[in-house]
Each structure stands twice: as C-alpha cells, then as structure tokens.
Amino acid sequence: MRTQVVIIGAGPSGLMLGQALAGAGIDAVILEQRSADYVLSRVRAGVLEQGTTDLIERLGAGARMRREGLVHEGFTLAFDGRQHRIDLADLTGGKSVMVYGQTEVTRDLMDVRSGSGLATYYEATDVEVGDFETAPGNGSARVRFVHGGKQHEIACDVVAGCDGFHGACRAAVPASAITTYERAFPFGWLGFLVDAPPAAHELVYAGHERGFALLSMRSASRWRSYIQVPSEERAENWSLDRFLDEIRRRLPESIAAEVKAGPVIERTVAPLRSFVAEPMRFGRLFLAGDAAHIVPPTGAKGLNLAASDIHYLSGALIEWFKEGSRAGIDTYSQRALRRIWIAERFSWWMTTLLHRFPEDSRFVDRVKLAELDYVTASRAAQTMIAENYVGMPY
C-alpha cells in the first residue's frame, strides 16, 4: 500500500490534518489504535480560541459548533471573597472564545471525514514507524500495523505523529535526537460532568485556601467543574454530594448557591503536567498535538495548541506537495514551538497563581494575593491575561 501521508492518531489533531490535506487533494490515511466509539467516549476540555474555530470552519466541520457552541466574552477570577470579571472582548478588541466540547469537535470531524469516504483504520495495533530519518523527497517512510488480524505496511512520503503522549511516533525517535522538558504538578483535578444547568453563564476560576476550583460548562444544560485534589486521589471516593459540598466552599457564596445537582455523566481525576518535546520534526516524521506537548488545563490551551500545530503543519505540507517548497516544513518546528512555549508559560502562570502547593508558606500566600490584587487593578495585566486566553496570533 502507498499514500502520500500517514497520520497516526484520530483525535482532533489527526482528523484536522486529514481534512486539511484532503481539501488540497493530498492523499492521507489515518491509523487509530482505539475504536471510534472509544475515541468519542473520551470527555475532554472545550474552550476554543478564535483560531481553532476558524480552522474548524475552514475544514467544513463547523455547522453544529455554530448552532450549539456558547460564545464567551469574559470569565471571572474569584479570590479572597471577591470576584473580578476579565472582559475578553473589551481587552482584546472584540475577541472571544467558544465553549464547545472536544468530544463534539472530534465527532464533527469524524462525520466530515466519513462523509468524504476517506480512509481511516480504527483498531490499528502494533504500529511501527521506520525509515523516516531522511527528508521528504528522499525515498519513503514505512508504517507497519496490524488491522483485522493481518499485518499491513504503508509506504509514504510523510508521517504525522498525532498519536498523543503515549503514542508510537515520539517513541520511535532516537533519544539522542530529542530533548524533553517536563514539570509534574503535585495535584490533580477531580472533575464531574453533570446533567444540570451551570451556575454561571461564564467560567469562574477560583483560588481558595482549600485549593483551586473551576466552574465550567459543556452546554446551557450541562456543567463540567473541577476541584484541586492530591495527585493520588481517586474519583470513586467522591460522591456528587461530597463534590458539591467542596466546590461550594471554594466558590463565592452567590455562585455557590446556584450549583445544582443532577445525573452524573462522568467523574475523573486528571493529573496536571507541563511537557514539551523539541524539535517536532525528524526527517519525514512530524509531531503534533499531545505527541509533542502537554499543558495543564488551567489555561485552556491543550486542544488549541493542537489546532495551531495543524495550521502550521498542513500549510507546510501543502506547500511542499503542491509547490515543492521546503520553507514550511523546514521551519515547522520553530514556528510551532514559539507559540507552544508562550502557551506553556501562560498555563504554568495560571496554575501557579490559583492553586495551593504543599510547600506554600504564608509568605507565598500573600504574594499570590498581592499578584491577584495587581491583576484586578491593572488594565495592562488584564490585557496580558485576555490576549493569552483568547489565543496569540498564528
């Protein structure tokens, strides 16, 4: 079997890339280790930057997002018994974000790809990537995998590793050729997804002496909220009543009173980490999304960074296949990493400011409070937050 591009991973980044290449007439096959139902069962974040929604629209997968997505022009910082709204639209010249779940983005992209009759192999196991060391144009990379009980091999010009943190693509790169940077945080987020109207119409980020809390939503009738817990905590130890008691303690009273119970759809504990792998290109192998970087969810950047990677990578590959220019593929890693590190800094800053760390002293507590005081008093500081939150330009 031969194709121009093999995309490994059918999450949002792989599906976005596949659709972008198909629109330019470039043949691409997607391999996914899990079943389609499993991929859709993963409930993830859903705050989309304007650049992400624009990309989804260009790929022809934005119709349901336009109908059901919630446009947010601000969010609230809550601390020390106070509330302060960060007015995104005012601070950024009219920009906003959209709340629309990553699962729904994935579903829409799957539907568009399926409707186009493009090749996707779900439950493709034992994936091996080889012969990718030389630049595109110098022979073929090879991807081997098992599907339907049979061994398959695809020769291709390019491999796109969109297969996540634990995927085969980054693992195939020799350790001497890659540098990784990582920070594991000593806590996680316990999250509940509940079928009940959210307590506020915009997100609320709350710093509290008991730990961080985030009031969020997936739709006008379904809330998704989190509290900071020790990293070893287990979701099954928490009933909805216990969770509601705790999050209400950490939220301002006026908002806490509006947090409603309902049927629980999901409860999870997610670890928090920052991770970056450099570079993101190795001959004919290109990494994108979680295969190359992870951010703590505090800054709402995970899916958005995957989208910006695909913006750079799809443009670079289209330029190479259609025009023979190497300019895009040769600068892909540099361009993507510049934006990634800006988002890593913002997510780290938000996480550090709003969470309680085991080693925090009374002095650190007061410094964090002083910084929050400064942020709420300074338009310049709020503009920094707003610009990062809506997303830096591509």
389 is annotated as an active-site residue: yes
Label residue 376 exposed, middle or buried (CB < 10 Å: 0-12, 13-18, 19+): middle
- Active-site residue among 293, 297, 332, 368? 297
Cα–Cα distance for residue pair 118/13, rounded to 1 Å:
16
- Active-site residue among 100, 121, 205, 312? 205
Tell me the DSSP string of 120-134. Answer: EEET-EEEEEES-SS
Strand partners, 151: 146
Nearest Cα neighbor of 266 from 101, 45, 43, 36 is 43
Strand partners, 147: 150
- Active-site residue among 100, 121, 312, 389? 389
- Active-site residue among 293, 301, 355, 368? 301
72 is annotated as an active-site residue: yes
296 is annotated as an active-site residue: no
Strand partners, 193: 224, 266
Nearest Cα neighbor of 276 from 255, 296, 260 is 296
- Active-site residue among 12, 72, 296, 332? 72
DSSP state of 23: H
100 is annotated as an active-site residue: no
3-state helix, strand, coil in the chain (%, to 5): 40, 30, 30
Tokens standing for residue 261: 């119970």
Cα–Cα distance for residue pair 202/367, rounded to 1 Å:
27
Nearest Cα neighbor of 156 from 174, 171, 169, 138 is 138
301 is annotated as an active-site residue: yes
Cα–Cα distance for residue pair 54/62, rounded to 1 Å:
9
Nearest Cα neighbor of 309 from 324, 325, 291 is 291
Tokens standing for residue 312: 């750079």
Assess contact for 224 and 262: CB atoms under 8 A: no
Cα–Cα distance for residue pair 233/272, rounded to 1 Å:
13
Q: Which residues are annotated as catalytic?
A: 72, 205, 297, 301, 389
